[in-house]
Structure 1
Amino acid sequence: MCGRYASSRKPEDLVELFEVATWDPKEALAADWNVAPTKDVFAVLERPVREAGPEPVRQLRVLRWGLVPSWAKDPAVGVKMFNARAETVHEKPAYRRAFSTRRCLLPADGYFEWHTPEKLPGQKAPKKQPYFVTPKDGAELAFAGLYEFWRDRNIPEDDPAAWLATCTIITVAAEPELAHVHPRMPLILPRDRWDDWLDRSLTDADEAAALLAPPTPGLMELRPVGPAVGNFRNNGPELLERVEPEKEDAGTLF
């Protein structure tokens, strides 16, 4: 599961890192150290641009986190659809079509998970300990994602407000070093898989599913952080600072 993450790099840096060909500076987002579902996020995707012809162009776009299927009657369903399981994403009606032709990358610094230590006899219920999971080398992450378009039938089609662009993050079983905190983790795609994942000509479900292999284990740091991240209104780089957990938490976890 991935229900919170951090994405603080400037769009200009993302354009360079992901070799983006087109980006509208009007679609700018501030650094966000506490991204929660329903927030707007940056996504890298490939689609034709009307002015440039039929060939797909790599773009940096702003999408809302929480996928709304095109057939949904109410966009509120996106609140619960911020994650999609890698094991079933190719067959679930909500994600099947997007998995075929609307794959994207979601840039991130890392993600948050919460661990609840085991309650020992005679002790009060332990507090949840948040952790920030981030690359040990400080590199940028790219989560595997899907995006979709939903149209509000009450608004004329040529009105930009008629269309809602949303996304979801694909998750896999957590690697052993991280599974102590949570059994799932976002699928982190290595750089050598970015091009294939974004390739719109790759429509075969089996071939696309082959790209869902988990990343090499041991590359991530499990960093205990403070409880302030639990409130999505809190936002700042201090949320990523290491805060040692209580002794019983560390003992139970490790």
Structure 2
Amino acid sequence: MCSNYQPIKRSNNPWVKNHFGIDLPDADWKGHTWPMDKAPFIFMDKGVLRCELGKFGLEPFWAASKPNFGRRTYNARSETVHQLASYRSAWKERRFGLVLAEQFFEPIYREAKPDWAAISRKDNEPTAIGSIWESYIDAKTGEVIRSFSMLTLNADDHPFMQQFHEPGKEKRSVVIVEPGDFNKWLNANHDQARGLIKLPNGNALEYEV
């Protein structure tokens, strides 16, 4: 699971332009993202590739009147994403996105005490995390509200990701999409998406505390 991360920096706009042909949003976002905060993500909307700010924590239209709903939907288990009410519409409609992170954080335990491990790519490129997204129009303001959830999968046997989370508890990892698969993921059908939901290359990652 991932409850917080450092979103992509504006200085990495050339990386976004190179990989997607679009720019980061012309808006401000926080340097550290927690559930309900807004941060940039990439998605396809009616055949148009976009990069906009979305809330970290999936918010279906029917949850619009429920304050802080996204505080419990920021991660979606890939094993059940097609079943649970909060996520199944986004999955069914193939609303697949990419969350762009400089680092993402997981708890690491040393002598039974947790600390945050900052995980990043060894090649110093941003990490693209597979996600699902929702969108609706706020009835009061007319504003388009977008939100997303990071997809996760079991990592009990992963040589790198098994280091994190509380001892004795299940280990989970976010889904990291490699650059060669960006377009495949954003345009995937369900079978193709399932094929791209896999554990990351542990040799490509590093962490610091």
TM-score (norm 1): 0.70
Structure 2 match to 1:213: 198
The alignment of Structure 1 onto Structure 2 pairs a total of residues equal to: 199
Partner of 2:59: 68
How many angstroms does 1:15 deviate by? 3.5
CA 1:90/1:17 → structure 2, altered by over 3 Å: closer, same or farther? farther
* Residue in structure 2 matched with residue 59 of structure 1 by the alignment: 50
* Structure 2 unaligned blocks of 5 or more: 166-170
Could you tell me whether the CA contact under 8 Å between 1:68 and 1:75 is conserved in 2? no
* Larger radius of gyration between Structure 1 and Structure 2: 1
**How far off is 1:178 after superposition?**
2.5
What is the aligned partner in structure 2 of residue 103 from structure 1? 96
- The one of 123, 133, 136 equivalent to 2:122 is 136
Aligned equivalents of 2:146, 2:33: Cα separation in 1: 17
Are 1:85 and 2:67 an aligned pair? no
Shift of 1:23: 6.2
Task: Work out the percentage of aligned pairs sharing the same amino acid.
Answer: 25
Q: Could you tell me which amino acid in structure 2 is paired with residue 196 of structure 1?
A: K
Please tell me the residue identity of whatever aligns with 1:29. D
Matched residue, 1:4: 4
Q: Displacement, 1:83?
A: 0.4
1:219-238 CA-partner distances (Å, limit 9, x unpaired): 111211xxxxxxxxxxxxxx
Counterpart of 2:174?
Answer: 186
C-alpha displacement at 1:208, in angstroms?
Answer: 2.1
Unmatched runs of 5 consecutive residues or more in structure 1: 49-55, 120-126, 225-254
Note if contact 1:44-1:106 (Cα within 8 Å) is conserved in structure 2: yes
The secondary structure found in structure 1 opposite 2:207 is strand
Separation of aligned partners in 2, 1:168 and 1:160: 23
SS at match of 1:176: coil
What is the alpha-carbon root mean square deviation over aligned residues? 2.2
SS in 2 for 1:192: helix
SS in 1 for 2:202: coil
Alignment partner, residue 235 of structure 1? none
SS at match of 1:209: helix
Separation in 2 of the partners of 1:74 and 1:150? Answer: 14
Structure 1 runs (4+) deviating above 6 angstroms are none
2:110 aligns to what SS in structure 1?
A: coil
More strand by share: 2
Cα deviation for residue 30 of structure 1 reads: 4.4
More displaced 10-residue stretch of structure 1: 16-25 or 132-141:
16-25
User: 1:180 Cα shift?
Assistant: 2.0
Change (3 A) 1:70 1:20: farther
Partner of 1:114: 107
TM-score by length of 2: 0.84
Q: Quote the Cα distance in structure 1 between the aligned partners of 2:173 and 2:202.
A: 12
Q: Given the alignment of the two structures, is residue 19 of structure 1 paired with residue 20 of structure 2, yes or no?
A: yes
Question: Cα deviation per residue 1:185-240 (whole Å; 9 max; x = unaligned)?
Answer: 211101121101111xx44x33321221222222111211xxxxxxxxxxxxxxxx
Residue of structure 2 in register with 1:237 after alignment: none
* CA drift at 1:87: 1.5
Q: Distance in 1 between the 2:115 and 2:88 partners?
A: 35
The answer to whether structure 1 residue 172 and structure 2 residue 153 are counterparts is: yes
CA distance in 2, matches of 1:14, 1:61: 16
Distance between the aligned counterparts of 1:2 and 1:23, measured in 2? 22
Query: 1:118 offset after TM fit, Å?
Result: 4.4
